[in-house]
A and B are shown apart, each in its own frame.
Chain A
Amino acid sequence: MKKKILTAMMTIMAMSAAILGGCGDSGKDVYTIGISQFAVHGSLDNCREGFLAGLAEEGFVEGENLKVDYVNAQADTGTSAMTADNFVTKKVDLICAIATPAAMTAYNSTMDTDIPVIYTAVSDPVEAGLANADGTPVGNITGTSDALAVDAQLQMIREILPDAKKIGIIYTTSEANSISTVAAYEEAAGNYGFEIVTTGVTSLSEVPLAAADMVKKVDCITNLTDNTVVTALQSVLEEAGKANIPVFGSEVEQVKAGCVASMGLEYFELGRQTGKMAAMVLRGEAKASEMEYEIITEPSLYVNYAAAEKLGLELPRRYATDAYQSFEEIIVE
């Protein structure tokens, strides 16, 4: 019995080796890339779609001259590491890593190879050990950061709420992205006459409690791209609605779901920018080890008129033309 299992396993391995060997280098008519996404998450999915769109614009079209191997690690670092090793075994031409843990494991797995890694949705590449303080890569790895446009967001809140004093932020204490963004908010808030009130949570179940307490103390809430809090966004909106205070988002999905407005990232755009970087690397025009990581310089304004109306808020008139996208209803998916 044991022997049979062993034989079967060996056969499978031999077969897969043969298949792989057979489709080896074919003069690069078809490029193979591996996408390692850390978790299932609206923003990250948008990132991936943008990435493929960016590649397509540069002439790398999935199904034509591009083969895409996509694995989602379901927020498990062990699976994420194995995903990267799997890509290394398959000798892909490039690995696209979405979100910080995926980028870190991909870099770790490719250290001894010449496979380039292009990451996206990494808030702080320096903190994650993927880039030097001057923005240059630490190895054959580069990409885009989704650091929030804190100043633009504060300025927007000031425009909408001229009398507000305190902004509340709920964040997860284990998410390094959130901690660094909170620090950035605390540093910049004074310039706009705001005071930041923070509450840290450790799990999803604490978010509603934190929100219920928070709404009593602040004039408005602003969201980060904090995975846990974003997942529980509806409970935050509910508590804020009861207290009649607005919640500002950090990207389009949150505004769609009922935040009043955001000066935020368009993850699809971020992914597209990343896709173009990947295209340069694939074409051999640039090396990932020599490209500095990029950020989105122009944040986009999103507004939700339905959410504003619910609170009796009047939005600046010019938003009608300035907004990258505006919503007339609250869409909860």
Chain B
Amino acid sequence: MALILSVLEQGMIYGILALGVYITYKILDFPDLTVDGSFPFGAALTVRLITMGLPPVVTLPAAFLGGALAGACTGLIHVKLKVRDLLSGIIMMTALYTINLWVAGAGYVAIFNQDTIFENGVVNGVFPGAAGRVKTAAVIFLITLLSKLLLDWYMSTKSGLLLRAVGDNDTIVTSLGVDKGLVKIVGLSIANGLVSLGGCIYAQQQRSFEISIGTGAVVIGLASVIMGTSLFRKVTAPRVTSSVVIGSVLYKGCVALAMFAGIDANAIKLITAVLFLIILVISMDRRKNPGGGLT
């Protein structure tokens, strides 16, 4: 039971991260490595705010804004300083490593006995007597759902439509008299805001911050996006955001299943990679079929 809840919790938390990666990777076509820094950035901000004694709910907008700022920096480095996309992300990721240590104050910080978004008067009032883990999963579900709905809503606004257009065909955007650089910066901000929000929830679910939690975050995000969009390839917006979150849960589910089945932990990463490859290849086959046209 705890493992299933763990999969759901981690899957949905990384699902929020995956929503961010979806924006950069699928919509903007921007390989954004800022993610490895902005995920722990959200977590670092969170433990700092909580140890300062602020109400836990404040951490959610704070982490989103912090991550958005980091994303905006990546965007500015790329657009204004004309640094290549991959490098802009790497630069920001590297800078954030130090910033995260400063913000959190140490390589690891525990918040075991503090109020979190899962453990506070309000939540305990809404779910009286509920077991800790169920409560946690419920709260994560609500936040993930809300993030997804807000993102869906944003995508239907004018700004959101422009964002989608930049990724598909940026000449159209330029011909509309819109600065495509600005659109990219906005997209990166929202994406990293979401990633950082994921980090914020992760830190509270784990009741601790650890500097290395960002390592490989972008890979998990990409895997989730690709799994989600490949397995449910016929769906279109806004349901594509749901499939990204489901992809993330499936990804964590595979890891858990392998672990539960007693497969050597050392082999899990290899198995993940193989699984990842299989899904990619299957989805590519379908893409080459009738109608053709590689994307």
Contact = CB atoms under 8 A, between A and B. Distances in A.
Instruction: Tell me, yes or no, whether A binds B.
Output: yes
B107 A77 contact: no
A128 B3 contact: no
A74 B216 CA distance: 12
Contact of A108 (B98, B207, B269): B207
B208 A104 contact: yes
A86 B259 contact: yes
Pick from B2, B213, B260 the residue with the most CB of A within 10 Å. B2
A213 B112 CA distance: 40
B259 A78 contact: no
B211 A71 contact: no
Contacts of B208: 104-105, 108, 129
A12 B253 CA distance: 13
A79 B268 contact: yes
Contact of B252 (A82, A101, A107): A82
B5 to A, nearest CB: 7
A328 interface: no
Contacts of A174: 97, 101, 107, 211-212
Nearest to A89: B3
Interface string A68-83: 0101111111110111
B108 A82 contact: no
Contact of A128 (B108, B211, B265): B108
Contacts, number: 116
A138 B112 contact: yes
B215 A104 contact: no
Given A73-B265, A174-B107, A179-B106, A85 B2 contact: yes
A300 interface: no
B108 A16 contact: no
A108 B3 contact: no
Given A108-B206, A174-B101, A202-B97, A76 B215 contact: yes
Nearest to A138: B112
A79 B255 contact: yes
A127 B208 CA distance: 12
A81 B6 contact: yes
B34 to A, nearest CB: 17
Contacts of B98: 202
B273 interface: no
A100 B108 contact: yes
Nearest to A113: B2
Interface in A151-185: 173-176, 179
Nearest to B2: A88
A109 interface: yes
B265 A82 contact: no
Contacts of A127: 106
B132 A79 contact: no
A229 B232 CA distance: 46
A104 B110 contact: yes
A129 B108 CA distance: 10
A74 B1 contact: no
Given A89-B3, A173-B101, A82 B10 contact: yes
B260 A86 contact: yes
B82 to A, nearest CB: 27
B169 interface: no
B76 to A, nearest CB: 24
Which residue of A75, A76, A107 has the most chain B CB atoms within 10 A of its CB atom?
A76
Contact of A176 (B106, B213, B216): B106
Q: Most A CB atoms within 10 A — which of B14, B113, B266, B268?
A: B268
B90 interface: no
B152 interface: no
Contact of B256 (A82, A101, A175): A82
Contacts of A176: 106-108
Contacts of A69: 262
Interface in A198-243: 202
A10 interface: no
Interface in B1-46: 1-7, 10, 14
B3 A74 contact: no
Nearest to A12: B257
Contact of A175 (B97, B107, B266): B107
B133 interface: yes
Contact of A74 (B6, B108, B266): B266
A111 B136 CA distance: 13
A83 B213 CA distance: 15
Contacts of B14: 78
Contacts of A40: 266
Interface of B: 1-7, 10, 14, 97-98, 101, 106-108, 110-113, 131-133, 206-208, 210-213, 215-216, 220, 252, 255-257, 259-262, 265-266, 268-269
Interface of A: 9, 12, 16, 40, 69, 71-79, 81-83, 85-86, 88-89, 100-101, 104-105, 107-109, 111-113, 127-130, 138-139, 173-176, 179, 202
Given A79-B259, A109-B2, A112-B132, 20 more contacts: A9-B257, A69-B262, A76-B215, A77-B210, A78-B14, A79-B265, A82-B252, A85-B3, A85-B5, A86-B3, A86-B256, A101-B108, A104-B208, A108-B208, A109-B6, A128-B110, A129-B111, A174-B107, A175-B107, A202-B98
Nearest first, the 6 closest Cβ-Cβ pairs linking A and B are: A129-B110, A85-B6, A89-B3, A174-B107, A88-B2, A112-B132
24 contacts: A16-B260, A16-B261, A40-B266, A73-B265, A78-B213, A78-B220, A78-B252, A81-B6, A81-B10, A82-B255, A82-B259, A86-B260, A89-B1, A89-B3, A89-B4, A101-B212, A104-B206, A104-B210, A111-B132, A129-B110, A130-B110, A138-B113, A139-B112, A174-B97
